[in-house]
Amino acid sequence: MLVADRALAAQRVRERVLEFMKSNPTAWRAKTLAARLGIKVEHLRAELNRLHGEGKLVSCTVSAPNQRPQEEYRIAANALPFNLRQFVISKKTAPRPGKSARIAVRATHKQAQ
């Protein structure tokens, strides 16, 4: 039963991390993120490494003067939800005599108003 509890706890950590990272797409350091989510740093680092290996998170090493380099994680662009309301899909047809109609579909980001 202990193994099942660990698997369930790991799944909860994974869901919480992904949900938080999707709603806050800025870069986060492991200790800050662990404090924010109320998770032990060791458990969080293991899950961050798994998610990074799967391509759902990207990381970079940040170094400041007189401090050790630290890893920062952010959600990968392909893991973010795609909201169609933010895009305008336009379809253009340009039929020419003797040729079939050509259709081009273009997605452009809506301007903030």
pLDDT in tens, 26-57: 888 989 999 999 988 988 888 998 998 888 88
Q: Which pLDDT band holds residue 77 (cuts at 50, 70, 90)?
A: confident
Sheet holding 57-62, edge to edge: 28-29, 70-75, 57-62
CA distances from 15 to 11, 22, 51, 52 (A): 6, 11, 11, 14
| pTM for the structure as a whole | 0.61
Residue with tokens 């940040």: 62
Integer Cα distance of 30 and 10 in angstroms:
16
Question: Rounded CA gap, 70 and 109, in Å?
Answer: 34
Go through the domains of the chain in sequence order and give each one's CATH number.
Answer: 2-79 (1.10.10.10)
Band of pLDDT at residue 71, cut at 50, 70 and 90: confident
Condensed to tens digits (0 to 9), the pLDDT of residues 94-105 reads: 555 555 544 444
Q: For strand 70-75 and strand 103-109, is the pairing parallel, antiparallel, or unpaired? A: unpaired
Torsion angle of C-alpha atoms 69, 73, 76, 80, degrees rounded to 10? -160
Tokens of 105: 């579909």
